Amino acid sequence: MKKIKLLPAIMTILSVLYLIYVISSESTTLVADTVGGDPGGKVIPIMIALFLVLGFLFITLKERPEESKRNNGTAFLFVTTLILALLYVLLTKSVGFIILTTIVLYSLEYIYTTIDEIRRPVSGIIGGTATVISITAFYTLMRLITKIMLRMGKKGALPAIFGKNSTIAVICLLYIFVIVTILELTVVQTLKKRGLEKEANAGIITFAVVLFLYVVFKQLFLVGLAPGLLNY
């Protein structure tokens, strides 16, 4: 029996299912179409579904699978990335932006950068935990500064410009820059000297990216990033 390519075969099946769905669904016509002439909402979808079925069926019958093997390392990276991405989608609401982004980003950075090395899971996990704790601490401090400035700005204790979101966002960006620089020059350098370069790099990159994105999206553009566990 001849081997067939998997993707066009799956797409053919999905197209057939779509065709069945379209045919079995109710036709929708223009509201108040007293004159008539509206072909309804099924015509184009049926034409498209037929084209998809025939097209993918043709490719399924025409193409033969190529001999290609994904090596184990790439498969591991793919599965890990997929699982972490799925967790991100499923847990964002309950865990929240800060903690979940930190865990996912640190994990990916650590796993990707150590792909050619023998990993030390314990130091990786300790590094990740330390990153989560430090980001939570500095985030809490940043929130406190923001709230105090907004309150003082409203009361008139500070010039009005300090009560603006954009000003506070700039101050927070400076705060992140200073903290990242200090951490890079102290903690990261110390860890690197002790042979924990990958853990330190993954941690500092995660620290900078998570807090930077938080300030840009939450404080500058006022996007409602899910607070989750850090609901304060």
- Interface residues with other proteins (CB under 8 A) are 5, 7-8, 11, 18, 21, 25-26, 28-31, 33, 35-41, 43-45, 48-49, 51-52, 55-56, 58-59, 70-71, 73-74, 77-78, 81-82, 85-86, 88-89, 92-93, 97, 101, 104-105, 108-109, 112-113, 115-116, 201, 205, 209, 213, 216-217, 220-221, 223-226
For the CB of residue 160, give the shortest distance to other proteins in the complex, in Å: 18
- Nearest by Cα to 177 from 142, 133, 148, 153: 142
Closer by beta carbon to other proteins, 38 or else 177: 38
For the CB of residue 220, give the shortest distance to other proteins in the complex, in Å: 8
43-62 helix and 6-24 helix, angle to the nearest 10 degrees: 160
Look up residue 186 and give its two tokens.
Answer: 């102290």
User: For the chain, how far is it from start to end, CA to CA, in angstroms?
Assistant: 63
Closer by beta carbon to other proteins, 89 or else 122: 89
For the CB of residue 78, give the shortest distance to other proteins in the complex, in Å: 6
Closer by beta carbon to other proteins, 145 or else 228: 228
* 146 contacts 168 by C-beta, under 8 angstroms: yes
Q: CA torsion angle for 116, 122, 124, 126 (degrees, to 10)?
A: -170
* 11 contacts 56 by C-beta, under 8 angstroms: yes
Closer by beta carbon to other proteins, 152 or else 184: 184
